[in-house]
Amino acid sequence: MRIVFAGPPGAGKGTQAARLIERLAIPHISTGDMLRAAVKAGTPAGQEAEVYMKAGQLVPDSTVIAMAIDRIQENDAREGFMLDGFPRTREQAEALEAAMKEADLSLDAVILLEVDDALIVERITGRRTDPDTGTIYHMTFNPPPAEILDRLVQRSDDTAEACAARLSKYHQDTAPIIPFYEERSILRRVDGVGNPDDVTARLIEALG
Ligand code: AP5
């Protein structure tokens, strides 16, 4: 299956993708994770991206498109993939469609995980990640075990200020991909509010 997982920042895409890929046996390709790895490694792309990410702005299309298209052409993605956080602009959606058309492929589904803005800030500012395992926690909604508290990290773009900028960019630049995929009849809306197990069940149903 070739899937795009879309939705506002903090909607729970990373949390749910970790559960779904085990079941679907396809790679989870998060452009956010790839960019954070590039920042950590200090590559030229990472150095460029860091400034945008910290401010809650989008990294330029040219950088992200090349990175994502190269990644879906790797061997492990031959039979399918779950793209998380890409595409995020109409230009990215068009580039993905063109690259897939060239390979005689198309997307099976675009899942839109919907969560109201009012819930997003709390989800984002309370998020902590375990750098050893990549597990995503929330200090209230999914509290980490006490013995790993000291090693947890908070993303530098998980401040209330950057969160507001990310939400605004989402509505301005990313929301236009929704009609793009609606026109192609592959958009499936899933309610991302509630118990994470219930959200997983809704996603499984939406993926058919
Ligand atoms: P990226 O890493 O993609 O961030 P994002 O889309 O903003 O999404 P998040 O990772 O913040 O949230 P999520 O939906 O995965 O939620 P999570 O599961 O963690 O991108 C970061 C930056 O990179 C961008 O701002 C941009 O600068 C750049 N970038 C990336 N891709 C790009 C692109 N294509 N083009 C340009 N720039 C790009 O959950 C959040 C919290 O909520 C967690 O604490 C979790 O425990 C909790 N939670 C999850 N589910 C529930 C639930 N059901 N109930 C209560 N709490 C929940």
128 among known catalytic residues: no
pLDDT attached to residue 112: 98
Give yes or no: 88 in active site.
yes
Pocket test for ligand 1, best of 30, 57, 59, 122 (most atoms within 8 A of CB): 59
Pocket test for ligand 1, best of 123, 124, 169 (most atoms within 8 A of CB): 123
Q: What pLDDT digit, counting tens, does each position of 102-150 carry? A: 999 999 999 999 999 999 999 999 999 999 999 999 999 999 999 999 9
**Can you tell me the distance from the alpha carbon of 137 to that of 45, in angstroms, rounded to the nearest whole number?**
28
Residue 201 confidence class, pLDDT cut points 50, 70, 90: very high
Reported pTM: 0.94
Answer yes or no: are the C-beta atoms of 118 and 208 closer than 8 Å: no
Tokens (6 digits) for 50: 């860091």
**Are 93 and 87 contacting, i.e. CB atoms less than 8 angstroms apart?**
yes
Closest CA to ligand 1's atom 53: 196
Residue 13 falls in the annotated catalytic set: yes
Percent helix, strand, coil in the chain, to 5, is: 55, 15, 30
Instruction: Ligand 1, residue 68: give the atom nearest the CA.
Output: 34
- Taking residues 6-31, report their average pLDDT: 95
Enumerate helices (H) and strands (E) in the chain, giving the number of each: 9, 7
Calculate the CA 144 to chain-centre distance: 22
Instruction: Tell me the C-alpha distance between 160 and 135, whole Å.
Output: 22
Of 23, 187, 1, 16, nearest in space to 82 by CA: 1
Helical (H) or strand (E) element with 177: helix 177-183
CA nearest ligand 1 atom 3, residue: 32
Does the annotation mark 36 as catalytic?
no
Name the residue at shortest CA distance from atom 41 of ligand 1: 123
**Which residue CA neighbors atom 48 of ligand 1 most closely?**
12
What does the chain come to in residues? 208
- 35-42 long-range contacts, Cβ below 8 Å, gap at least 24? 35/59, 35/64, 35/67, 36/155, 38/67
If you measure from the C-alpha of residue 168 to the centroid of ligand 1, how many angstroms do you get, rounded to a whole number? 14
Band (pLDDT 50/70/90 cuts) for residue 37 is very high
Pull the structure tokens for residue 68: 């994502």
Structure token digits, residue 65: 């498109």
